[in-house]
Structures are given as C-alpha cells and as structure tokens.
C-alpha cells in the first residue's frame, strides 16, 4: 500500500510538471510571437465568463510596437506598446493613441498556450497583473489566430426569422422594429413586432470564433439570475437551454460555431411550437 501511494505521488508530480511546461508563458524575448492578427474567442472577468459583444470576436493586430484593436462592429483603437523585457509573465504597457475614445493606458501580461494567446489586464486600472487570476476586476481574454477563425457567411437575422415562419409562430403579420443597439451588444440582431403590438421576437447571432463561448457564458449569466427558470433544450444540441421569466422566453444554442439567442415576448406561444421554430432557425445557420 505504501509503495502504491508513492507511485501515485510520483505520477501526480510528473503530471503537474508536464502541465506547467505546456502552460508556461513565452519568454519576454519572444515578442515576435505576438505578431499578426488574433481574434477574441473567450472573455472572463473576475473569473466568470462574459458576453460583452464589444470584446468578443474583436480583432487584435500586433505590428511591432503598435496594437490595433477592431471590434466586430468596426470600431478601431490604436495603441503604442512598450515591452518589459524582465517581466515574468511577459508584460507590456499599452498607451492609446488619439483619438482615445475614453480608453486609458494599461498594463497587460500575456502567455502562449499552443495556438492560443491569453492576455490579462485590470478593468480601468493601470496596474500590472501578477498572474491570470481569477482576481477582482481582472479581465482575461483568449485569442486565436485570425487566419484560423472561420469567416461566417453573411447571415441576415430578419430573413432567417421570416423563412422559419415567424408570422405563423406569432399568429399574425410582423414588421421590423428600428433598433438602436449599444456598442456592447453582441453580433447581428433583428427584432420583429407583431403588427398589433401583442408580441415581439428578437434573433441575435454571434459568429465564430466566439459563438460557442458566448452561448456558454450566456448560460452562466442566466443561472446567476434567480428570477429566471432555466431548462435544458437537448433537442437543439449540447448545451442548449431556455430561460423564462414572466412572458419572456430566451432560447440559446449554437450551430456551426455561431450562437443563436432567440428572445420571445408574447402571451400565447406553446413551448413545443417555440422549440420547433428554434430548430428551424438553427438549421439556417
């Protein structure tokens, strides 16, 4: 028994060493490994996944001592970079160039993990992170090479809703609702009102690479909202779920690395009808 325990301890130590060798950050001299374009596939803050559309699917392009960040909606931020060659993990200081759009200088650390790049910084605080946390106000982003992030085909949420039979689902004709979406809103979206004002349905699509992570983060946020009733929707795929509160139902699923967020506000729609409608929407992705 003692010999067995010793073998187990040795095995665990070897596993820990192997993991550490895979996860260790690149050396500060390997700044060239940052070069190129990256896409944000995952975001956490305080250790919790986030669904911030201004961050997810943004493109980060490193060119020497310059970083250009472009959100999925086209907003751009240019920053000058200075590197700390002595830091471990590797660190850089980012100074926004005019116009700043309210952005402030900040410290950032990074680590390469295979084909992924992790970066971490404090939200609104110009302080160098000690590690990748989780810590209060620490934002950690996982980026993948933009060349490896598939470009989704142009998907029109309004057309998808109509082809899926939205008028039949809501029991009457619909019209598009003009939208003024905040910059933090994710992906592309369409809202259709029933013409008598009795119902509204909204479809939001978040494409790759962040689509699956967005769906997972949405589930975490829904579970934290104790006013919502959460149910799994296995017929819509692994991880799919619906969240209901009052007359509002939200269905979240992903297909082909694109997240579907279907929000229905209506008095009389059968659950089975909504499930079939959501399945038709997914089939269009």
Q: Catalogue all structural domains in the chain, each as residue range(s) with its CATH number.
A: 25-148 (2.40.128.280), 157-283 (3.40.1000)
Question: Looking at residue 222, what is its pLDDT?
Answer: 92
- 3-state secondary structure at position 87: coil
- What is each CA distance from 111 to 14, 57, 121, in whole angstroms? 22, 19, 12
- Mean of pLDDT values over 228-232: 94
Q: Per residue in 133-186, pLDDT tens?
A: 999 999 999 999 997 555 555 789 999 999 999 999 999 999 998 876 665 566
- Mean pLDDT confidence for 186-206: 92
**pLDDT class for 77, splitting at 50, 70, 90?**
very high
Query: pLDDT-derived band of residue 33, with 50, 70 and 90 as boundaries?
Result: confident
According to the model, what pLDDT value does residue 219 have? Answer: 93
Asked if residue 123 lies in contact with residue 133, where contact means CB atoms within 8 angstroms, the answer is: no
Paired strand residues for 75? none
Tokens of 111: 């680590």
Rounded CA-CA distance 262/215 in Å is 11
Token pair, residue 171, equals 């029991």
Rg over alpha carbons for the chain, rounded to the nearest Å, is 22
Average pLDDT, the chain: 85
Model pTM? 0.79
SS3 content of the chain, % helix, strand, coil (to 5): 25, 35, 40
Residues of the chain with pLDDT > 90: what percent?
Answer: 67
Give 13's pLDDT tier (boundaries 50, 70, 90). very low
pLDDT surpassing 90 at residue 109? yes
- pLDDT given at position 182: 60
pLDDT at 242 over 60: yes
Distance separating alpha carbons of residues 56 and 59, to the nearest angstrom: 9
Q: Please report the pLDDT score of residue 123 as a whole number.
A: 93
37, 39, 40, 42 alpha-carbon torsion, rounded to 10°: -130
Cβ count within 10 A of residue 71: 19
Is 14 buried (19+), middle (13-18) or exposed (0-12) by CB count in 10 A? exposed
Pair 277, 174: CB distance under 8 Å: no
């Amino acid at each position: 028994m003692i010999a067995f325990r010793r073998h187990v301890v040795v095995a665990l130590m070897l596993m820990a060493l192997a993991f550490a060798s895979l996860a260790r950050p690149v050396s500060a001299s390997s700044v060239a490994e940052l070069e190129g374009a990256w896409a944000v596939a995952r975001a956490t803050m305080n250790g919790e996944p986030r669904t911030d559309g201004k961050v997810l699917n943004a493109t980060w392009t490193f060119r020497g001592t310059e970083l250009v960040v472009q959100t999925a909606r086209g907003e751009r931020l240019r920053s000058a970079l200075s590197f700390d060659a002595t830091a471990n993990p590797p660190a850089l200081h980012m100074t926004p160039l005019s116009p700043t759009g309210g952005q402030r200088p900040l410290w950032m650390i990074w680590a390469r993990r295979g084909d992924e790049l992790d970066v971490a910084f404090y939200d609104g605080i110009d302080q160098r992170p000690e590690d990748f946390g989780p810590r209060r106000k620490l934002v950690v982003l996982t980026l993948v090479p933009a060349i490896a992030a598939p470009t989704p085909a142009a998907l029109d949420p309004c057309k998808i809703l109509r082809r899926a039979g939205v008028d039949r689902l809501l029991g009457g004709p619909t019209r598009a609702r003009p939208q003024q979406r905040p910059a933090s809103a994710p992906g592309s979206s369409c809202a259709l009102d029933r013409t008598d004002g009795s119902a509204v349905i909204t479809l939001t699509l978040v494409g790759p690479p962040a689509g699956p992570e967005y769906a997972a983060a949405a589930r975490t946020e829904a579970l934290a909202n104790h006013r919502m009733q959460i149910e799994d929707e296995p017929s819509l795929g692994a991880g799919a779920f619906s969240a209901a509160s009052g007359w509002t139902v939200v269905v979240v699923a992903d297909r082909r690395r694109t997240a579907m967020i279907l929000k229905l506000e209506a008095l009389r729609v059968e659950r089975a009808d909504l499930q079939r409608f959501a399945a038709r929407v997914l089939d269009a992705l």
